[in-house]
Amino acid sequence: MNIHDPKVKSDSQATSSVSRPSREEAEEAVRTLLRWAGDDPAREGLLDTPARVVRGYEEWFRGYDEDPEAMLQRTFEEVAGYDEMVVLRDIRYESFCEHHMAPIIGKAHVGYIPTDRVVGISKLARVVDAYSKRLQVQEKLNAQIANTLQTVLKPQGVAVVLEGEHHCMSTRGVHKPGVSMVTSTMLGVFREDRETRREFMGHIGNPVNRL
């Protein structure tokens, strides 16, 4: 699938056409799940749980209401001709697996080589957050971050590596805690030039043979 194809809807576009339930309906859905789990949502300890869960969802999934491309619109051209690699590593992210709605906790490493402009480093972290605060699979999250940076900044290349522990694997199913999944997206010179890719991997502190 080409996510740059205008016929392909983004997550936010796809969900905008679906009417959201009211807060009251969302809270009642939580009560239903509590009853299904075998507990009584009317007992004291659970009385406020539906409201707390809905507030949590507003924070965990706020990415559906955020525009990552808009976050990158303000750039800086006064960089004295700087055209070397810019790397932001160890960006903690928190997401949720779209298959089990279980947490994905990990680190993102983002790099790009500018052409004639750079973006504030906090914006790189904000783009990671905007996409991670949606129901996700790690491979898709990786590609979304990289493709957005490449599309908006038009740099010589973009590199994104994600490491994530998937709780759908560590707390259920095969029960294998401490296992990290590693994915990468390399665009432009990072894909074409082995030495550029090797330099990026050196910056983020991972073995060069990981890719």
List the chain domain ranges: 20-60, 74-210
Q: Worst-scoring range by mean pLDDT, 10-19, 28-37, 39-48? A: 10-19
CATH of 20-60, one of 3.40.50.80, 3.40.50.2020, 1.10.3470.10, 1.10.286.10: 1.10.286.10
Beta strands in the chain (DSSP E): 75-76, 86-97, 103-113, 118-119, 135-136, 157-166, 181-188
**CATH class of the region 74-210:** alpha beta
Report the predicted TM-score, pTM, of the whole model to 2 decimal places.
Answer: 0.87
Question: Residue range 99-124: average pLDDT?
Answer: 95
List binding-site positions.
Answer: 97, 100, 168
Distance, first Cα to last Cα, the chain: 23
pLDDT at 78: 77
Question: Which segment of 13-22, 144-153, 194-203 scores lowest on mean pLDDT?
Answer: 13-22
Beta strands in 54-143 (DSSP E): 75-76, 86-97, 103-113, 118-119, 135-136
Cβ atoms of 180 and 163 closer than 8 Å: yes
pLDDT at 193 over 50: yes
Instruction: Give the model's pLDDT for residue 206.
Output: 60
Q: Which of 3-12, 137-146, 199-208 is predicted with the least confidence, judged by mean pLDDT? A: 3-12
Q: Which residues are annotated as a binding site for Zn(2+)?
A: 97, 100, 168
Q: Is the pLDDT of residue 18 over 80?
A: no
Strand order in the sheet with 86-97: 135-136, 86-97, 103-113, 157-166, 181-188
pLDDT at 5: 41
Residues annotated as catalytic (active site), given as ranges: 97-100, 138, 166, 168
What are 103's strand-pairing partners? 96
